[in-house]
Amino acid sequence: MSNQDTVLIVGGGPAGLSAAAGVAAAGKKAVLVEKEDVLGGAPILSGYAKLVPSGEWAKDAIGRMISVVENDSGITVHKNTKVTKLDGDVGNYSATLSSGETVQAGAVVLATGFTHFDSINKPEWGFGTFPDVLTTTQMEQMVGTGKITCPSDGRTPERVAILLCVGSRDRQIGREWCSKICCTVSANLAMEIREMSPETEVFIYYMDIRTFGLYEDKFYWKSQEEFKVKYVKARIAEVTKSNDGRLLVKGEDTLVKRPIVIPFDIVVHAIGMDPNDDNPEISNTFGVGLEKHGYIERAEHYTDTCGTTRKGIYSCGAAYGPETIDDSISQGKAAAMRALSDIKG
């Protein structure tokens, strides 16, 4: 079915869905290969709640993108599938899929995204030890159920702490980057918790707040002024348990330079965006370079937008580094445009 008039897109998250829709809208064929059994990428696979900045539930917003792709006859979707081999060159690639099928394509778009930081790699902050220490994705899933309770015993929490920069901006564990969206996601999550459970106080522990661009007033100021979320500038040392079973967040208040210990019922890790665990394999299969942290390496930014180190292979979204959904979608469209210029006709 596919031939050199086709663009092969790997990864069915926001970036890949957008790229596929872009190729089809130009009247060309797209083949979308997704390793999981559902489309939608991280927002669907991890069950995000309401997205920033739109405020729309992830399942509705990304669900619409999935419907567009699944209902377009110009797009063929292979789920539960990976590309195992890529032969040929720009304008004339031949990809072998894990199903044994082959796809002929003029160009390739790698929309393979990121992997959530695994909080087990920050053991002193209690994840994996205490059941009431959760990640932002787990807390978003709880918000999705409509009820905020402590996993350990089902009580309504009096106090929730959200710890920012878990697995980001942390040189000790080899994560030097800022994950870009987690300050805003956390401010939004704090407001959702307050709205759903007004008796629960929410504290956000931060090094710096990076609610960039228009997110500053919509999330940072709004969370404080309208939802009474408290911000504490601190360095966290550890999360332990008190004698009465509550969680103790211990650290230093870096504004007043004093040690602080505050009891909480739930502690949330605002986890960052690691490079996709598959990237070494992707680099091998597709012959593209990785940058020093392990994300896909960009070609020259200004004249080779969406390029990689190999001609005819493009990338977009969180495959390049921490990225928002809105920007991943825009980059998916830009990658589709670059790919279209490589295919016949």
**From the list 36, 72, 170, 252, which residue makes contact with ligand FAD (rule: CB under 6 A)?**
36
In angstroms, give the least distance from the CB of 323 to ligand FAD: 5
Q: For ligand FAD, what does the binding mask look like between residues 316 and 345, x meaning CB under 6 A?
A: -xxx---xxxx-x-----------------
Q: Which residues contact 129 (CB under 8 A, 6 or more apart)?
A: 123
| Residue 106 interacting partner from ligand FAD, ligand SF4, none (CB closer than 5 to 8 Å by kind) | none
* Residue of 28, 50, 78, 180 interacting with ligand SF4 (CB under 6 A): 180
Residue 168 near ligand SF4 by CB under 6 A: yes
Residue 185's binding partner among ligand FAD, ligand SF4, none (Cβ under 5 to 8 angstroms by kind) is ligand FAD
Which candidate, 267, 247, 272, 266, places its Cα nearest to that of 118?
A: 272
Q: For residues 244-283, which are near ligand SF4 according to CB under 6 A?
A: 270, 272
As a whole number of angstroms, the distance between CA 40 and CA 37 comes to 10
Sign of the CA dihedral with 214 first, then 217, 218, and 219 last: positive
Interacting stretch for ligand FAD, rule CB under 6 A, among 33-41, 118-126, 222-230, 236-244?
33-41
Shortest distance, CB of residue 123 to ligand SF4, whole angstroms? Answer: 19
Q: How many residues bind ligand FAD (CB under 6 A)?
A: 40
Give the whole-angstrom CA distance, residue 160 versus residue 167. Answer: 20
Residue 210 binds which entry of ligand SF4, ligand FAD, none, CB below 5-8 Å type-dependent: ligand SF4
How far apart are CB 271 and ligand FAD at their closest, in Å? 6
Using alpha carbons, list the distances in angstroms from residue 317 to 19, 125, 197, 275, 324: 10, 30, 34, 12, 8
- Tell me which stretch binds ligand SF4 (CB under 6 A): 57-65, 165-173, 220-228, 246-254: 165-173
Q: How many whole angstroms separate alpha carbon 19 and alpha carbon 26?
A: 11
Q: x/- contact string, 182-221, with ligand SF4 (CB under 6 A)? A: xx------------------------x-x-----------
- The residue type found at 239 is V
Q: Is 170 in the site for ligand FAD (CB under 6 A)?
A: no
In the complex, minimum distance from the CB of residue 105 to ligand FAD, in angstroms, rounded to a whole number: 15
Task: Name the residues that contact ligand SF4, by CB under 6 A.
Answer: 164-165, 168-169, 178-180, 182-183, 208, 210, 270, 272
Task: Name the residues that contact ligand FAD, by CB under 6 A.
Answer: 10-16, 33-36, 41-43, 48, 51-52, 82, 111-114, 116, 136-137, 181, 185, 271, 273, 276, 278, 282, 317-319, 323-326, 328
